[in-house]
């Protein structure tokens, strides 16, 4: 009697453990996303840097995807890694960005919306969307001519990611070096008011005798020195407080980023264990269930940033994630795979990757609407259904 009981208990644990891990990871993901969005916006404001640039290296970095890719390659499962990379690219745009559009369209105080509900994006968002479309088109062209699966192409993709990181880092560095418009407001406003109202600017002898005027001039000079010293001390205190706030926000940002990555990593593994119980193939699992689980951070970031009106974070989350996937993750997959000769089996996923990138670029360049988010979400459901139908046939 003990053997059937143990077998039943083992079967229950095989389902309950990954299910509980999945639910707890979702809970952690929700709270870490709120912390991440708040810290990113505050840090960008304090550094006088565009929140889009900071998000490109934080929210837009698919580190959990890279962990999954490496784990799949170590287990000699390149098709799982490749399916996950391509499926995640589609999920980031059609599944995550669409949700951000839906929530953003409902915001009552969205300054980027006109009376018709059309949401416009800034020049940086349009630039990054164009860069993503260029990278996606280059990958599709390499696939079309049969060069994508070579080691040279993999090395070039990794090199492209390195260039991308250097470019974003340089943009952040230049943004930090650029002084804000009110950087000298503390000293200039005080000095200006003092110079205009200082008694020693009056001609000597006005308002009193020669000896009395000289005494008042000396007293005023001493007062000016004391005020300048107190102003300098106040500015130093404000500067130290400003640096402490930056360090605090940076620490919170790091905690949120680590929590997001860990949550996505745990979600991917728990989803994999659950899918294994239902005997789902690697191709379907990698492009649908696994990519859906690992892109849940992007979906949460898109929803929260869209609801709070942080358009730069929402765009950078999608653009940065796909650039990360199509350069570093795809390059590592190609370099770590012994052979990916069955490239024709991924024609469906590659087509959807390019089509979703084109739709994102068009929505950002022209402007988006709630109906655009609905259309993207319907397209994502269609992609998932076709994945199961085509691969089950």
Q: pLDDT digits over 214-253, tens only?
A: 566 666 666 666 677 777 777 788 888 878 888 888 888 7
Looking at the domain assignment, is residue 142 inside a domain? yes
Q: pLDDT digits over 174-216, tens only?
A: 765 443 333 333 334 344 444 444 444 444 444 444 455 556 6
Distance CA 83, CA 286 (A): 5
Looking at the domain assignment, is residue 183 inside a domain? no
Looking at the domain assignment, is residue 200 inside a domain? no
**Residue written as tokens 């849940």?**
296
Q: pLDDT digits over 255-292, tens only?
A: 877 887 777 677 667 777 777 777 777 777 778 877 88
Distance CA 129, CA 364 (A): 7
Examine the pLDDT at 56 and tell me if it is beyond 70. Answer: no
Any idea of the CA torsion for 73, 79, 82, 86, to the nearest 10 degrees?
-150
**Residue written as tokens 């795979």?**
337
Looking at the domain assignment, is residue 288 inside a domain? yes
Contact 304, 33 (CB under 8 A): yes
Q: pLDDT digits over 87-141, tens only?
A: 999 999 999 888 888 887 444 444 455 556 677 787 888 888 999 999 999 999 9
What's 145's domain CATH number? 1.20.1420.30
Looking at the domain assignment, is residue 328 inside a domain? yes
Distance CA 138, CA 269 (A): 31
The larger pLDDT score, comparing residue 287 to residue 1, is at 287
Looking at the domain assignment, is residue 185 inside a domain? no
Q: Cα dist. 170→49, 158, 175, 180 in Å?
A: 12, 19, 8, 18
Q: Cα dist. 101→98, 106, 359 in Å?
A: 5, 9, 13
Any idea of the CA torsion for 335, 338, 341, 343, to the nearest 10 degrees?
-40
- 342 φ, ψ to 5°? -85, 50
pLDDT at 52: 61
What is the count of structural domains for the chain? 1
Contact 89, 324 (CB under 8 A): no
Distance CA 272, CA 282 (A): 10
Q: Cα dist. 104→115, 131, 243 in Å?
A: 14, 24, 33
Q: pLDDT digits over 19-29, tens only?
A: 788 778 777 86
- Report percent pLDDT > 90 for the chain: 18
pLDDT at 54: 64
Question: Where does the pLDDT of residue 81 fall: very low under 50, low under 70, confident under 90, or very high at 90 and above?
Answer: confident
Q: 3-class SS at 75?
A: coil
Q: Cα dist. 35→28, 147, 267, 314 in Å?
A: 11, 42, 19, 15
Mean pLDDT, the chain, integer: 75
Domain with 383 in it: 7-178+236-391
Looking at the domain assignment, is residue 150 inside a domain? yes
Looking at the domain assignment, is residue 124 inside a domain? yes
> Cβ–Cβ contacts within 10 Å for residue 30, how many?
14
0.75 exceeded by pTM:
no
Beta bridge partners of 119: 113, 368
């Amino acid at each position: 009697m003990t053997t059937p009981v143990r077998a039943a208990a083992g079967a229950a644990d095989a389902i309950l453990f990954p299910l509980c891990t999945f639910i707890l990871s979702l809970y952690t993901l929700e709270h870490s996303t709120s912390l991440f969005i708040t810290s990113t916006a505050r840090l960008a404001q304090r550094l006088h840097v565009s929140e889009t640039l900071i998000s490109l290296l934080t929210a837009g970095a698919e580190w959990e995807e890279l962990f999954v890719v490496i784990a799949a390659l170590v287990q000699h499962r390149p098709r799982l890694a490749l399916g996950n990379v391509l499926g995640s690219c589609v999920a980031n745009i059609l599944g995550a960005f669409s949700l951000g559009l839906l929530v953003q369209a409902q915001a009552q105080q969205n300054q980027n919306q006109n009376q018709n509900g059309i949401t416009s994006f800034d020049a940086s968002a349009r630039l990054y969307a164009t860069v993503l479309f260029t990278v996606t088109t280059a990958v599709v062209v390499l696939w079309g001519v049969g060069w994508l699966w070579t080691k040279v192409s993999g090395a070039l993709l990794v090199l492209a990611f390195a260039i991308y990181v250097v470019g974003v880092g340089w943009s952040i560095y230049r943004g930090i070096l650029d002084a804000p418009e009110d950087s000298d407001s503390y000293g200039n406003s005080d000095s200006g008011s003092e110079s205009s109202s200082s008694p020693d600017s009056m001609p000597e002898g006005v308002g009193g005798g020669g000896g009395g005027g000289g005494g008042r001039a000396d007293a005023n000079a001493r007062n000016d020195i004391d005020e300048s010293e107190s102003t300098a001390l106040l500015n130093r205190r404000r500067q130290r407080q400003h640096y402490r706030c930056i360090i605090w926000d940076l620490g919170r940002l790091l905690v949120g980023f680590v929590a997001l990555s860990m949550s996505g990593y745990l979600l991917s593994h728990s989803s994999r264990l659950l899918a294994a119980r239902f005997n789902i193939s690697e191709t379907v699992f990698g492009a649908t269930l696994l990519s859906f689980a690992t892109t849940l951070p992007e979906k949460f970031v898109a929803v929260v940033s869209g609801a709070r009106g942080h358009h730069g974070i929402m765009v950078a989350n999608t653009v940065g994630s796909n650039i990360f996937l199509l350069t570093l993750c795809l390059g590592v997959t190609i370099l770590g795979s012994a052979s990916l000769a069955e490239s024709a089996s991924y024609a469906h996923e590659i087509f959807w990757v390019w089509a979703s990138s084109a739709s994102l670029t068009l929505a950002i360049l022209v402007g988006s609407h709630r109906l655009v988010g609905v259309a993207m979400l319907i397209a994502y459901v269609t992609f998932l259904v076709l994945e199961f139908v085509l691969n089950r046939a």
